Amino acid sequence: MAVTTLKIDGKEVSANEDETILDVAFQAGIKIPTLCHIEGLTDIGACRMCIVEVAGSNKLQPACTTKVKDGMEITTQTARLKKYRKMVLEMLFSERNHVCAVCVSNGNCDLQTLAVEHDLTHVRMPYLYPKTEIDASHEWFALDQNRCVLCQRCVRVCDEIEGAHVWDVSGRGVQSRVITGLNEPWADSDTCTSCGKCVQVCPTGALSNKGKATGEMTKHREFLPYLAQRRHDHK
């Protein structure tokens, strides 16, 4: 694998050609905000938080799926990028009910953290608040669609790591919903192993352990890079 050098925010860095901009930036200590990305799962470039500017291209590229190239000059923080990222967050807060004060993940939420980091003090767009369901049929876990940001982490971890593929997305556009099995109650899914990985990778309070009160749900993700590596070695 060829080794290349490139510049991120003016800093010279070296990289392997199969690495993504996000990988390389992380190694260089440059922080690019992410939401749908999680270490250990295939990246899908869905949330657009990690978009960066690449010199010579007028298109913004997601850092998580864009491979580095020799001589690339990448900028991760510009006024334009910051504005767009903030608008992405605004859109998410306007899309469903994300009232932190009554959420089990209050204080331990990736969306909330991003909102604070991006100084999102209020939402200018009208709230859409669609009527969404709660599925608490599983013995240990609960799904609250109101908090879901459709990052598809649950879909990916179940498919790629657990190998069960219980989760998927149904519907489209703003009507999209994560579903279990063939859009049946979680408890009726024949394939769910109740491993709980989906709950741990969920960035918000959409998936939680039952019995948690406001702010009590903390997530543990240390297992993921380890298991992902083991899966990778196995292949």
Partner 1 sequence: MLLEELTAIAEKTRSERKEISVRCCMSSGCISSQAEEIKKALEMAVTEKNLGEKVEIRQVGCMGLCGKGPIVSVESEGLIYSDVTPENAASIIDALAGGKAVASQADPTHPFFTRQMLVVRSNGGRIDPDKIEDYIEAGGYSALYRVIHEYAPDQVINEVMKSGLRGRGGAGFPSGLKWSTVAKAKGDRKYIVCNGDEGDPGAFMDRSILEGDPHVVIEGMAIAGYAVGASLGYIYVRAEYPLAISRLQLAIKHAKRIGLLGDGIFDSTFNFNVEIRIGAGAFVCGEETALIASIEGRRGQPRPRPPFPAESGLWGRPTLINNVESLANIVPIINKGGEWYASLGTEKSKGTKVFALTGKIRNNGLIEVPMGITIRQIVEDLGGGTPDGKKIKAVQTGGPSGGCIPVELFDTPVDYESLMKVGSIMGSGGMVVMDEDTNMVDVAKFYMEFCVEESCGKCIPCRVGTVQMLNLLKMILERKATIRDLEALEELCEMVQNTSLCGLGQTAPNPVVSTLKYFRNEYLELLQPLPGEIIA
Nearer to partner 1, 49 or 217 (CB): 49
Query: Least CB distance from residue 223 to partner 1, whole Å?
Result: 26
Give the shortest CB-175-to-partner 1 separation in angstroms: 7
Q: Which is nearer to partner 1, 88 or 142 (CB)?
A: 88
The residues that bridge with 15 in the sheet, in sequence order, are 4
Measured CA to CA, the distance from residue 70 to residue 22 in angstroms comes to 15
Name which of 153, 148, 149, 145 is nearest 44 in CA terms.
153
In the complex, least distance from residue 195 CB atom to partner 1, rounded to whole angstroms: 23
Q: What is the identity of the amino acid at 36?
A: C
Closer to partner 1 by CB, 15 or 149: give it: 149
Nearest to 123 by CA among 115, 131, 134: 115
Cα 25 to Cα 34: distance, rounded to the nearest angstrom: 12
Give residues in contact with partner 1 (CB under 8 A). Answer: 44-48, 51, 60-62, 65-67, 80, 83-84, 87-88, 91-92, 94-95, 124-126, 128, 149-150, 152, 168-169, 171-176
Q: 152 vs 217, which CB is nearer to partner 1?
A: 152
Tokens matching residue 27: 């190694």
CB of 188 to partner 1, least distance (A): 21
Q: Residue 95: count other Cβ atoms within 10 Å of its Cβ.
A: 18
